[in-house]
Amino acid sequence: MSADYTEDNIRTLDWKEHIRFRPGMYIGKLGNGKSIDDGIYILLKEVIDNCIDEFVMGHGKTIDVSIHGKTVRVRDYGRGVPLGKLVDVVSKINTGAKYDSKAFKKSVGLNGVGTKAVNALSSMFKIDSVRESKIKTAEFCRGNLTNDSKIDSSPKRKGTNVTYIADAEIFGEYTYRLEYIERMLWNYAYLNTGLTINFNGKKFYSENGLLDLMENNITEKINYPIIHLKGDDIEVALTHGDSYGENYQSFVNGQHTTMGGTHQGAFRELIATTIKEFYGKSYDSQDVRASIIGAISVKVIEPVFESQTKTKLGSTEVEPGGKSMRAFIGDFLKKELDNYLHKNPETATSLQAKIQLSERERKDMAGVKKLAKQRAKKANLHNKKLRDCRIHLTSKDKRAEGTMLFITEGDSASGSITKSRDVNTQAVFSLKGKPLNSYGLTKKIVYENEEFNLVQAALNIEDGIEDLRYNKIIIATDADVDGMHIRLLLITFFLQFFPELITNGHLFILQTPLFRVRNKKETRYCYSDEEKKSALNDLGKAPEITRFKGLGEISPDEFKHFIGDDIRLEPVLIKNDSAIKDMLEFYMGKNTPDRQKFIIDNLVVEKDLVEEVL
């Protein structure tokens, strides 16, 4: 029987109600702070973006950021919001100066939404604006105005100060991970040379832009000094390393486009074109780009992004009605990169030698690769190791950023996830036994080893990650010794052959509960011993306690809770000072006294993990 559909069913939500009712439309997902794309970081970015726009327009060279507990404060020294419009700017959708290209020509925030979303999703939001020795303050609670002060005189420096607390009603129990914030702030510094950002007593500053970014993040041996080129509204840096694959970072108007877009695609294509023309050789583009490490930053008037979180650029022109993105980047590279290689013959020689080496390796691998593709196609058809989803990252569907592939061990775990998943965006790949330890092996092993070959084929990364089919690759293994070993072997595989999947933030570990604590009225799932203690305390006497020793012990109905909106993912991160080869040698190389000592010193046995409950 269908429900009645009358005038009473029609509702009109005001701006703050709509943001709170559908926060995902404005900030992507929510999360608890463990993932770098969780909503609390998007809120912070929205506030900082406004400060960056002021700097780009030539107003204010310093931004102060502080986070203490859950209280966030961001202060710039730009022009300050016009005092008479202060309340409107943070509480009226489609209100802002960025609709006026005279005031903000190459801004990130163009939709008049960002700060309003922060306001609506904060239990406390306060904004102060200082202009011409006058100050005005407005305070809000969940988007509702609680204090609208009169304009008063002030000796403070001009600019805008925003203080807020993200609302626990929306975000639940969340914690800021400072390493995520520091990575974000470093990107802001690299892309805005001359800008100083102070964060909790730490200074973020760059003089050399993308050159500094590359020097501070590359951990492998490079074949020649980093090529760094700057022009009007464009900056690029590139070199070749000794790892497999291609590694790019791209930015638009200071925004880190982690999902790439038209600018990154054009950069990738036109690097190969320019280099081939310089040498006058018809090299395969794949050989030119093999092991490349590159970064590009462009400034665009009225950029079009493919989502509110601005992680992928959709603009095909650098300004409405202007030069195409491809022509803009191509003209720059054809002139500047060509000139650089002519002026630096040693670099040109080293680059050509690297291309020729990649060419020889590719030709040696041709037969193996062809056979492996045939095996992968046959295995996928008959073994059904991959239970695919309907939407892929390469599609135009707005939900594509939510696509994920779970890599599981065993039939029981993959069966539970398969029955619980969202068939539109979640795929499942089932491993057969433990993968091979790939440390120190050549890429030939990727094609000759069935499991690795099929993983690569499922992800569609044979020719690089440009056509990666899933945004998140999630290792889902049991929380026991065997599960941890499989997890480490998979991470080793990705680090060895596809490190860009990790450096670009695509690899995660699925967190599943260790305990279920329940009584007749309530069930609690606990991810740690501390959560279990809290549940025991809250649920009173003699609750039933279940220890999950494997993913297969969790029923499909329960699994829905753990891979749905409240999914807990632990990102696999490489810190800037990490050396991938050294790290792999330590963990996955031949046994050494240092590693034996590390294991002994950090050994945690079952009795340490689980307290007696009786």
DSSP assignment of 80-138 equals ---GGGHHHHHHSTT-SGGGSTTT-SS-S--SS-HHHHHHHTEEEEEEEEEETTEEEEE
Domain with CATH 3.30.565.10 in the chain: 16-204
At residue 102's C-alpha, the angle toward residues 298 and 254, to 5°, is 25
Would you say domain 210-361 falls under CATH 2.60.40.10? Answer: no
Half-sphere exposure of 250 (CA within 13 A, CB side): 23
For the 383-512+548-609 domain, the top CATH level (class) is: alpha beta
**478 contacts 549 by C-beta, under 8 angstroms:** yes
Task: Look at the alpha carbons of 275, 281, 282, 285 in this order and tell me if their dihedral is positive or negative.
Answer: negative
Q: Which tokens go with 299?
A: 């400034």
Most confident of 144-158, 533-547, 560-574: 144-158
Report d(CA 7, CA 424) in Å as an integer. Answer: 33
Would you say domain 16-204 falls under CATH 2.60.40.10? Answer: no
**For residue 577, what pLDDT band results from cuts at 50, 70 and 90?**
very low
**For residue 598, what pLDDT band results from cuts at 50, 70 and 90?**
low
**50 contacts 114 by C-beta, under 8 angstroms:** yes
**For residue 240, what pLDDT band results from cuts at 50, 70 and 90?**
very high
Tens-digit pLDDT profile for residues 414-471 = 888 999 999 999 999 998 878 888 887 888 887 788 888 888 888 988 777 778 899 9
Domain with CATH 3.30.230.10 in the chain: 210-361
By three-state DSSP, how is residue 47 classified? Answer: helix
Domain with CATH 3.40.50.670 in the chain: 383-512+548-609
In this predicted structure, what is the pLDDT of residue 381?
47
| Cβ-based burial of 553 (10 A; exposed 0-12, middle 13-18, buried ≥19) | middle
Average pLDDT of the segment spanning 136-158: 92
Tens-digit pLDDT profile for residues 91-136 = 876 554 444 444 445 555 444 467 889 999 999 999 999 999 999 9
Average pLDDT of the segment spanning 6-14: 58
Tens-digit pLDDT profile for residues 509-531 = 998 888 899 988 888 888 888 88
Element (H, E) at 491: helix 481-497
More confident residue, 338 or 317: 338
Phi, psi of 10 (to 5 degrees): -85, 125
In this predicted structure, what is the pLDDT of residue 329?
94
Tens-digit pLDDT profile for residues 17-41 = 788 877 777 777 788 887 777 889 9
- Sheet of 472-476: strand order equals 386-387, 426-431, 404-409, 472-476, 507-511, 568-571
In this predicted structure, what is the pLDDT of residue 56?
84
Rounded to the nearest angstrom, the gap between the alpha carbon of residue 381 and the centroid of all alpha carbons in its chain is 32
Average pLDDT of the segment spanning 276-299: 93
Q: For 186-195, 488-497, 601-610, which range has the lowest pLDDT when averaged over its residues?
A: 601-610
Is pLDDT at 15 greater than 50 in this prediction? yes
Q: Which tokens go with 225?
A: 């000094």
Report d(CA 65, CA 73) in Å as an integer. Answer: 6
Report d(CA 593, CA 571) in Å as an integer. Answer: 29
Beta bridge partners of 129: 136, 160
- C-alpha pair distances (Å), 430 with each of 410, 413, 451: 6, 9, 9
Nearest to 134 by CA among 154, 106, 156: 154
**427 contacts 386 by C-beta, under 8 angstroms:** yes
| Cβ-based burial of 537 (10 A; exposed 0-12, middle 13-18, buried ≥19) | exposed
Q: Which tokens go with 411?
A: 């039939």
